Amino acid sequence: MAGPAIKAVLFDIDGTLLVTGGAGGVAWQRAFEQLYGVEADVAEHTDAGMTDPEIVRIVFREVIGREGTQAERAQAIGCYLRHLPDAVAESAGYRTMPGIEPLLERLIDAGVLLGLVTGNIEAAAQIKLARAQLNRFFSCGGYGSDSPDRTEVTKAALSRAEMVSGGALGDGACISVGDTPRDVSAGHGAGIKVVGVATGSYSVEELRGADADWALATVEADFPT
């Protein structure tokens, strides 16, 4: 790979590091059932790559039928977090994506700083990572609790990576990895290159069409380090 050496990599979670087998949707459904007595099928109303604040706004609007207040949205997120550990633990479909753990080990051994860039609020991110003990790899991150806007989340992750690195990240030294066009556009909006990995809902061709700087079937295929 031409250009500056990569010193930091920011990873998305859902569809990139792992899949929960629908545990997030189950936790949202249980939360809205508990609070409002309604069935909330998040998958019917949201797209991959959305932040948790975006998700809760959409569920209120499209399932409850009105805009929730800030207090109501905060309560819904709190209830979601209460249900998420059990939903993750119970999920038969939970798995890490191909090649992820060996890649993380290899990057750490090479002295690369690893961070997260995810639409999950921070507490949800840690719950999802904990089952596979992947949280031990990541020194910093940007989360849906930083902003509902994915580009701003990426900027937050980049700023924290810069702080943890002691200011060692020059132009081109940090890249992000994600499985959706939203991840690609957010990374570019934050001024960094993006690896699109087709382990989620989008194909290599779709990620390439979204202008991913690298588009891979899995992280096992010629990861840019």
pTM of the model: 0.93
d(CA 183, CA 49): 7
Structure tokens at 196: 């699109």
Shortest CA distance to 193 belongs to which of 174, 180, 210? Answer: 174
41 against 122, higher pLDDT = 122
Q: How far apart are CA 184 and CA 192, in angstroms?
A: 9
Specify the amino acid at residue 70. Q
pLDDT at 221: 80
Q: Give the residue extent of every domain in the chain.
A: 8-20+95-216, 23-90
Instruction: Note the pLDDT of residue 1.
Output: 38
At the fourth CATH level, the homologous superfamily of domain 23-90 is Putative phosphatase; domain 2 (1.10.150.240)
State pLDDT tens for residues 149-187: 999 999 999 999 999 999 888 888 999 999 999 999 999
CA proximity to 56, closest of 30, 36, 70, 76: 76
In CATH terms, the fold of domain 8-20+95-216 is Rossmann fold (3.40.50)
Q: 3-class secondary structure for 157-208?
A: HHHHHHHHCCCCCCCCCEEEEECCHHHHHHHHHCCCEEEEECCCCCCHHHHH
Answer yes or no: is pLDDT of 4 > 70. no
In angstroms, how far is CA 40 from the centroid of its own chain?
21
Can you give the length of the chain in residues?
225
> What value does the mean pLDDT take over residues 71-100?
97
DSSP-derived pairing of the beta strands 214-216 and 193-197: parallel
